[in-house]
Amino acid sequence: MKTLMFALLAVTALAAARPAAADEFSLGYDVDRYPASKLSMAACRAAVARGAAAAGYTTRVDQDQKTLALHVSAPRQDGRSLISYCIAAGDQTVFVIQAFDYSGPGNPDVDRVKARVGAEVRKAARGG
């Protein structure tokens, strides 16, 4: 549970770091959790990578620290990024997906990307 609280605090701190700049980019995010028996850290990490690739994103960082997996990807052109976390929190696996577009606020592509990646993780949790 401490790992989950730390991760959520870190995500909140990142989101609040530049509140005045919120009108400069679009952000879409998705957070969910599943029993670790349904969604392992390895399955979560692999699903995030599949979802990002299906959205046309190229992996930039893929780190596995056993209780925290970090995946950062972006399309080949500039202006967008995807930051995803898989977090082991007791008997749960939590995922956090953040899709950014730096061209300005209100870009619907961030919702498309986060939905695509989130769908892939949820599919993995259902055993598919």
The predicted pLDDT at position 76 comes to 82
Within 8 A by CB and 6+ apart from 11, the residues are 85, 96, 98
The predicted pLDDT at position 9 comes to 43
Q: Where are the domains of the chain?
A: 2-11+27-125
For residues 4 and 87, the answer to whether their CB atoms sit within 8 Å is yes
Q: Is the pLDDT of residue 54 over 70?
A: yes
Q: Is the pLDDT of residue 12 over 90?
A: no
pLDDT band at 89 (very low <50, low <70, confident <90, very high): very high
The torsion region of residue 55 among left (phi > 0), alpha (psi -120 to 50) and beta comes to alpha
Q: What is the pLDDT of residues 74-83, one digit of tens each?
A: 998 878 999 9
Q: What is the pLDDT of residues 102-121, one digit of tens each?
A: 988 999 999 999 999 999 99
pTM over 0.85: no
The predicted pLDDT at position 3 comes to 52
Torsion of CA 46, 50, 53, 58, to 10 degrees: 0
The average pLDDT across 5-29 equals 59
Using the Cα atoms of residue 43, residue 46, residue 52 and residue 56 in order, give the sign of their dihedral. Answer: negative
The predicted pLDDT at position 78 comes to 74
| CATH no. of 2-11+27-125 | 3.30.160.110
